[in-house]
Amino acid sequence: MTARSALVTGGTTGLGLAIAHRLAGMGLGITITGRDPSKLAAAVAELEGAGASVLGAVADAADWDDTEGAVAAHVERHGGLDVAVANAGFTTAGDLVDGDPGAWRSMVLTNVLGPALLIKAAVPRLPAPGGQIVLVGSVAGRVIRPGSLYSVTKHAVASLGENARLQLTASGIRVATVEPGVVDTPFWDETGMPPVSLHTGVIADAVAWIVDQPAGVEVGEIVVRPTGQLI
C-alpha cells in the first residue's frame, strides 16, 4: 500500500506516460490504463524500471465497465485513490465536410464520455476533502476552429471540468483542467509536428503542481502553450 496514489487514463505513451512518471517521482502509487496490452506492458516495465509502484489495466476509457474495473483494481492494489487524471484522447483526420464519420464516434466517446466516466467511477473512492481530479483538455477547446470536431470535444472537456467543480467543490474534492498547446507526442504522427511544441515534461510538471497544492487551494484551469503558438 502506498501513502498516496494516482490513476492516469491513456498512460501508455506520450503525455499520459510522462504524467505517470512525474507523479510516481513524487512518491505516488500509479495505475495506467490503455487499450493495447503490449503497449501497456512496455509502459509498466518502463515505470517499474524507474522505481514506480505501478499497475497496468487494459481498459477502454469510453467503456463504463472497463473504467469502473480499472478504478476498483487501483484501489485494491494501492489501498485507495487520491488523484484521477483523465488523459485518454485522440483526434481524427479531416473536418466536418471531409472527415470520416466512422472515426468520429470513437473520438467523441473517448474525449468526452471518457472523462465523465472516470469522474463517476473515481468520486466515491476519492477522499473528501482532499481528492483531486485532473482533466486534460486542449487549447483547441478555447477557440473556434473551422470544421474541427476535435475542437468541439475539447470545448466539452472544459465545460465538464467546470461542471464537475461546481458539483464537487463543497465536498473538498478538487477539479482542474489542463489545456496544453502543441506537445511533442505521437498525437501528431499523422498530421506532422507544428513548428513550435512543448516537451511532455512541461505538462507533466503542471499536473504535478496542481496535485501538490495545499489543502484549501483549488486550481481550476491552466493553459500552457509553447512560445510562438498563436492560438
Which amino acid appears at position 139 of this protein? V
Relative to beta strand 54-58, strand 83-86 is unpaired
DSSP state of 50: T
Question: Catalytic: 150?
Answer: yes
pLDDT in tens, the chain (231 residues): 558 999 999 999 999 999 999 999 999 999 999 999 999 999 999 999 999 999 999 999 999 999 999 999 999 999 999 999 999 999 988 999 999 999 999 999 999 999 999 999 999 999 999 999 999 999 999 988 899 999 999 999 999 999 999 999 999 999 999 999 988 877 666 666 677 788 999 999 999 999 999 989 999 999 999 999 888
DSSP code string of 177-218: EEEE--B-SGGGTTT---SS-B-HHHHHHHHHHHHTPPTT--
Angle between helices 37-49 and 14-25 (to 10 degrees): 30
- Determine phi and psi for 27, rounding to 5 degrees: 95, 5
Q: Where are the beta strands (DSSP E) in the chain?
A: 5-8, 29-34, 54-58, 83-86, 132-136, 174-180, 221-224
Separation in Å, CA 26 to CA 19, 212, 225: 11, 9, 24
* Cis amide bond preceding 37, omega within 30: no
Catalytic residue among 59, 150, 197, 200: 150
Write out pLDDT tens, residues 174-229: 999 999 998 887 766 666 667 778 899 999 999 999 999 998 999 999 999 999 98
Domains of the chain, each with CATH number or no CATH:
5-224 (3.40.50.720)
